[in-house]
Amino acid sequence: MSEVSANLYAHLRHAFPADLNATAIETDAGQHYSWRDLDRGTAMMANFLQSLGLPEGACIAVQVEKSVEALMLYLATLRAGYVFLPLNTAYQSAEIGYFIGNAEPAVVVCSAPNFGWVSTLAFKAGTAWVFTLNDDRTGTLLERAAHASDHQVVAPKRPEDLAVIIYTSGTTGRSKGAMLTHGNMLSNALVLKDYWGWRSAGEGGDVLIHALPIFHVHGLFVAIHGALINGSKMIWLAKFDPKVVLAHLPRATVFMGVPTLYVRLLAEAGLDRAAVQHMRLFISGSAPLLLDTFTAWQERTGHTILERYGMSETIMLTSNPYQGERRGGTVGMPLPGVHLRVVDGQGVAVKTGVIGDIQVKGPNVFAGYWRMPEKTAEEFTADGFFKTGDVGRVDAGGFVTIVGRSKDLIISGGYNVYPAELESFINDLPGVAESAVVGVPHADFGEVGVALVVAKPGAALDAGRILLELKARLANYKVPKQCHVVADLPRNAMGKVQKNLLREQYR
Ligand code: MLC
Ligand code: AMP
């Protein structure tokens, strides 16, 4: 691969249709962006970023509401050759402070209402530039980029060059920045283009409904790269609303969602075979899709949801087939180029059908954790397989089933919540002796957290107050849905809290 051609943006741009005046993105607010608009807008932003004289490999950290301009900022960062760092809009100052301190971005972009506190944190951490970008096409970034040229030469990149840092929380300690390269993302996008049978404009043309947030792998990479590398139009929804999705379904062919989105769509009376008659493909991932949801969807719409499995460190790993049986409760087979094995506690591959730890290798697997060489080394085997932390089995037909996780993690509505982070926060509150946070089944979010808290001798704790404290400091989706003050926590002979018992008790 030549240097220039390894820049992911160059490949996405190459796939734009010949008619650059055609609509690339239509928003739920009725705005239309042509392919030319995308190319010009990203060129101007890229030129502006390059005019700042940033160092090689500079990182651009972005916490903004979903908008087409925010997508352009991502693409502009790629084409200018810098490193994009997306941040969940729910993160509050303690969380943002950590990410900025750890990544040391050269540029931070936030929404105008957050400029005060975000810029204070950023300038303290040594960030040179803080710009604003709002979801109504305003902000200092756009004002400044408006003066830049709309001609830009895509920065040359090698496959191993860093493109994105995406933070994933740790089961112990602080979040880790997974470093994804241009090569990681390009290889995955090209594989999925074939595997999911994307139809380019000339063949009837896919249209993707984009309803997910754009700060995680699912919405930012799987959905956006999928559409762009195929030259497919996107119907761009500012946020997920089942009624709005239903209204757009008749003009779309592809939809991607976390299981909660399917559960909420099923609750709509208007979801029937007529509503989905032009749809080609429904894809689910980021969390386990319950068999009930899979079956209910089949019965109601006549479509079989295609479930796939991936993670921030690897992008997509497995997928049910586009052609052929899509088996509910499984995440399909390893994608072409992905080596997946299941091993026992000693790291020895188990027999077909036996449950063990899932390890993977492939061109999609990340380059390591940002500035954490020891952590990176721990997560890879001597022969170069990445330890996913997921537990599963592979059956004789090659279908992979995820049965659990060795990492202590709750996946709620597609967002990862790490009990260790919440427990350490709760344990620091006055009067708290110790705590445990466990995940329990939830009809809407799949799984939600429950906090069990033990008071110090003589201290009186108020469960409601504990939740309020959490809400005031942490991203809202992390806050447990329930908190109980308990006398003690069940422990095994080794003194370890028996979370399995708590999960049973509070389900
Ligand atoms: C919102 N809340 C959540 C939550 N989302 N609580 C737990 N889990 C969540 N996921 C909180 C809100 O703050 C609010 O709390 C209350 O729950 C009700 O909110 P809501 O109005 O129902 O939520 P809504 O805004 O509609 O959001 C729900 C959602 C959203 C499902 C649309 O969570 C979402 O977009 N999820 C997708 C996440 C995603 O893209 N994951 C991909 C990760 S990539 P309160 O107290 O304020 O009322 C990855 C790799 C891979 O995992 O394989 O793809
Ligand atoms: P993240 O760190 O947000 O990238 O989350 C990745 C994790 O989500 C994986 O390690 C899995 O535990 C989980 N995950 C993703 N897709 C699926 C799926 N289809 N079924 C079960 N778990 C999934």
Q: What is the pLDDT of residues 68-99, one digit of tens each?
A: 999 999 999 999 999 999 999 999 999 999 99
Q: Which residue has the tokens 């022969």?
A: 383
Please give the structure tokens belonging to residue 336: 């072409």
pLDDT in tens, 340-355: 999 999 999 999 999 9
Q: CA-CA distances (angstroms) from residue 243 to 2, 269, 306, 460? A: 46, 10, 22, 45
92 lines ligand 1 (CB under 6 A): no
Nearest ligand, CA of residue 88? 1
Residue 184 and residue 165 in contact, taking contact as beta carbons nearer than 8 Å: no
Q: Please state, in angstroms and rounded to a whole number, the distance separating the CA atoms of residues 335 and 419.
A: 31
Given a cut of 70, the residues of the chain with pLDDT beneath it are 1-4, 170-173, 202-203
pTM higher than 0.95, yes or no?
A: yes
- What domains appear along the chain, each with residue ranges and CATH number? 8-17+33-189 (3.40.50.12780), 409-505 (3.30.300.30)
Determine which residue's CA is closest to atom 2 belonging to ligand 1.
477
Q: CA-CA distances (angstroms) from residue 50 to 43, 122, 145? A: 10, 20, 11
For residue 405, which atom of ligand 2 is closest to its CA?
A: 12
Q: CA-CA distances (angstroms) from residue 298 to 265, 327, 413? A: 13, 12, 21
Q: CA-CA distances (angstroms) from residue 470 to 131, 210, 435, 441, 480? A: 29, 31, 13, 21, 9
Q: CA-CA distances (angstroms) from residue 167 to 88, 197, 301, 320, 414? A: 10, 30, 36, 27, 15
What is the pLDDT at residue 3?
45
CA of 476 to the centre of ligand 1 (A): 9
What is the pLDDT at residue 201?
76
Q: Which residues' Cβ are closer than 6 Å to ligand 2?
A: 168, 217, 285-288, 307, 309-312, 331, 388-390, 402, 405, 411, 416
Among 400, 445, 450, 474, the mutation site with the greatest number of ligand 1 atoms within 8 A of its Cβ is: 445
* Residues facing 448 on adjacent strands: 440
Q: CA-CA distances (angstroms) from residue 166 to 118, 295, 305, 478? A: 19, 33, 27, 18
CA of 369 to the centre of ligand 1 (A): 25
